[in-house]
Structure 1
Amino acid sequence: MKLPLEGLTVLEFSQYMAGPYAGLRLADLGARVIKVERPILGDACRSLVTKNMKVGDDSVLFHTVNRNKESFQANLKDPDDVEVIKRLLPKVDVITHNFRPGIIERLGLDFDTVSQINPQLIYAQISGYGDSGPWKRKPGQDLLAQSMSGLTWLSGNKDDDPIPFGAAVADMVCGSNMVQAILAALLRRRKTGQGAKVDVSLMESILDFQFEGLTAYLNDDSNPSNELPTRSETASAHAYLGAPYGIYPTQNGYIALAMGSIETLSKLLGLNELADYSSNNRYYLDRDSAKSVIAKHLVTQTTEHWIAKLEAGEYWCSDVLTYNQLVETDGYKSLEMEMTITRHDEISLVTTRCPIRLNGNKIYHPKAAPILGDHTTNIKQEFNL
């Protein structure tokens, strides 16, 4: 299968997650991604170990976000190595970096400099909080961006402490935004022949991720005192939605209920008391009381019992699965999300594939993340560096 970005070359200076995640998606779609890494240590993510899990000398995390890339070793503090990079620039289409403000200028690889070398280059940079303003030098890290953006006050119940997402959501959303920006700039270049500089940040990305809640907050005329969004006391899943929206315990697990008619839900559950909340917006205005009624009822039977009743009435609901339950389901298996990546030194790792399908075809790349500097010699020979 011919992939849409074949023939595109990306020079990746990014470390950790957001930038490399963008590079991963570009590589999945056919781009050649050359990862420029410092000697000895390489990308700092190589040593960012989660759950004490390593494959070879590198963290499993590094392998998941850097598969299907090449590694080129260069010391950007060495003027000779920087000159090598500059000789490579006319031969690539995109560069990405996530250096803190000011560093890329000191290295002599800022946009003004490299665009003189290659005017058609797409120059994509990620920052934590933009390159201006009082936050610009704060560390751009996922948990910190989540915490400063207000996101941590949307999960959990009313009296819970702030709760961050249990995944690097700011990094992933920011990386996705970078891919969109790069593809848009490439399309523009095809029409005009001009390169472009694109900027994305963790903070702007995670704020846009909350456009639903922030827009409600900024435009709530009934809230002149700018009262903060309030999480419900139980089964909270969305600060601006009423009952039954949330996750509830059952006799043997949990069940998730999405939006739906309270009156219909009361009939399907055989819970007459709940019908009282169907008029005068009580399902929202008294949502804590309504959710309490639902919670006390659902815990009396199993998840399977309730799902059978609700699905028969076409009410939106689902089981709440753990990883070990998820991977055993026929639904998960039918998606064929798993693939095994390998490397010439006998490294082998099971990970997830690209989620995109092209013309009905799933995209699999079996090439594991590179050894530090593994492709330096070949790249220098190929490009006469």
Structure 2
Amino acid sequence: MDNFTAPLQGLRILDFTTLLPGPYATMLMADMGAEVLRIESPNRPDMLRGLPPMVGSAEPVSAAHATINRNKKSLALDLKNQEAKKIIERLLSEYDIVIEQFRPGVMEKLGFGYQALSELRADIIYCSITGYGQDGPLKMRAGHDINYLALSGLASYSGRQDSGPSLNGMQIADIAGGSHHAVMAILAAVYHRQQTGRGGHIDISMTDCAFALNAICGANALADGQDPEMEMELLNGGSFYDYYCTADNRYLSVGSLEPQFAEAFFLGIGHPEWMERVLESDQQESLKRDIAATIKKKKLREWNIIFSEIDTCVEPVLNFSEATESKLIQERQMIANAVTKSGDYLLQINSPFKFNGKKNKKHQAGSTLGADSQSILKSLGYSTQDIDRLLANKVIA
């Protein structure tokens, strides 16, 4: 990476997270040039490491783990061992950002909470990602993405009236909530530290972040006191903005909301007269039924031909393989190679960021547990004898 594709070069992050929210956040920052060192338990490995399929020949790794933990180093360290604190203290001379994902109080019990580490390094930026935050009535409660979406209100109007809330293909609260908000907050804290010299503790609640994603519908509900409902809002099925099944049981996405797009859409399906029904609230259900019946008469390929030359916000629903092979994804360089420690090459989803027209096209795949333990300790001044002793005492792995 050069300076254009690595704008976060110089940021050094200790990553105490597992699974998805924290690791995805640090993946984004590592992709942009930050140096990320994962502090992993040798006794309780990250569950993502065991998620199939496994890829690579010499040392097979989980495809998901190899992607989400790419461009990072791994130090396997038993945080419950007293000698671990000495290692963390040495690391803090070089790493000034910490991100952790334990329940509130866990890092404090281990001796690595914000207060303890800020005494060692006053300008430390310390980001905690949890389901419900560092305070509040649910702070110690277990949760997953589905629970955060449920308690945020988002799930209450995401789905179909005849079947209820729908599951999503990706983890909205984990990624859009935890990961993305953590990155934004950390970079804001970095800017603040540059101006003031002070670090601080960032409290990321995935439920808070999911609640913030209510954006438009939430703003409306606070203004008029009316809760958003399934298939009753402009963008959740309450208008003709929706997915429609084709004759070959594929789907067409129709987002033709603006008048010029709506006119082109209805002309494209052969019913320009239906434009008059768009703004009639009592016509929405029957309009959607008529659109559905019309779309059902042709195969997806036929609709693609009709709408390929019409700029009307109508696109086919592609499966992942089709999306990967599409001209759009290929030309936007969204597929990249990653190399494993053993030299195998893996295809991965690339970073979505382009800086000055450039994007990193090659990554270091997420490696095995503790792959960098010895080299990291050597860089901190530990001798070979010290490292052998730490290995023998199971402080590191």
- The correspondence for 2:88, drawn from 85, 90, 99, is 85
For 1:248 and 1:118, the matched residues in 2 are separated by 56
Residue type at the aligned position of 2:231: R
Per-residue deviation, residues 181-235 of structure 1 (Å, max 9, x unmatched): 1111111111111112112121111112221222222223xxx5x4441326xxx
Q: Number of residue pairs matched?
A: 371
CA contact (8 A) 1:260 1:316 kept: no
| Cα gap change, 1:237 to 1:370, in 2 (>3 Å) | farther
- Give the AA of the match of 1:181: A
- 1:209 paired residue among 193, 213, 217: 213
Q: How far off its partner does 1:298 sit?
A: 1.8
CA contact (8 A) 1:28 1:365 kept: no
1:110 & 1:6 partners in 2: Cα distance?
26
1:108 Cα shift?
1.1
Give 1:101's match in structure 2, choosing from 92, 99, 104: 104
For structure 1, the residue ranges without an aligned partner over 5 or more in a row are none
Q: Deviations over 1:316-370 (max 9, x none)?
A: 2111111232233222222221122122324442111111011100123421112
Asked if 1:349 corresponds to 2:378, the answer is no
| 2:299 alignment partner, one of 299, 302, 306 | 302
Q: Structure 2 CA distance, aligned partners of 1:312 and 1:88? A: 57
What displacement does 1:148 show?
Answer: 2.7
**Quick one: distance in 1 between partners of 2:306 and 2:322?**
22
SS of 1:327's partner is helix
Return the alpha-carbon distance in structure 1 between the equivalents of residues 275 and 7 of structure 2.
Answer: 53
TM-score, structure 1 normalization: 0.89
Q: 1:28 to 1:288 in 2, by over 3 A?
A: same
Tell me the secondary structure at the aligned position of residue 139 of structure 1: coil
Q: Decide whether the 8 Å contact of 1:185 with 1:195 is kept in 2.
A: yes
Q: Tell me by how many angstroms 1:312 deviates.
A: 4.6
| C-alpha contact (below 8 Å) 1:140/1:202 kept by paired residues | no
CA distance 1:311–1:4, change in 2 (3 Å)? same
1:246 to 239, 242, 248: 242
Alignment partner of 1:322 is 2:325: no
How much has 1:156 moved relative to structure 2? 3.3
Aligned twin of 2:231: 231
1:97 and 1:198 map into 2 onto residues whose CA distance is 10
Classify 1:353/1:276 alpha carbon distance in 2 versus 1 (closer, same or farther; 3 Å): closer
- CA deviation digits over 1:78-136, x for unaligned, max 9? 11112221222122120110110111111111111111111111111101111122211
2:157–2:228 contact (8 Å) kept in structure 1: no
Shift of 1:311: 5.4
- The structure showing larger relative contact order (alpha-carbon pairs under 8 Å, at least 6 residues apart) is 2
What RMSD, in angstroms, separates the aligned Cα atoms of the two structures?
2.2
Find the aligned partners of 1:109 and 1:166 in 2 and give their Cα distance.
Answer: 35
**1:345/1:266 CA distance change after superposition, 3 Å:** closer
| Partner in structure 1 of residue 187 of structure 2 | 183
Distance 1:237 1:70, change over 3 A: farther
Q: Read off the aligned partner of 1:214 and give its amino acid letter.
A: G
Structure 2 Cα separation of the partners of residues 91 and 314 of structure 1? 52
Q: Which residue of 2 aligns with 1:362?
A: 359
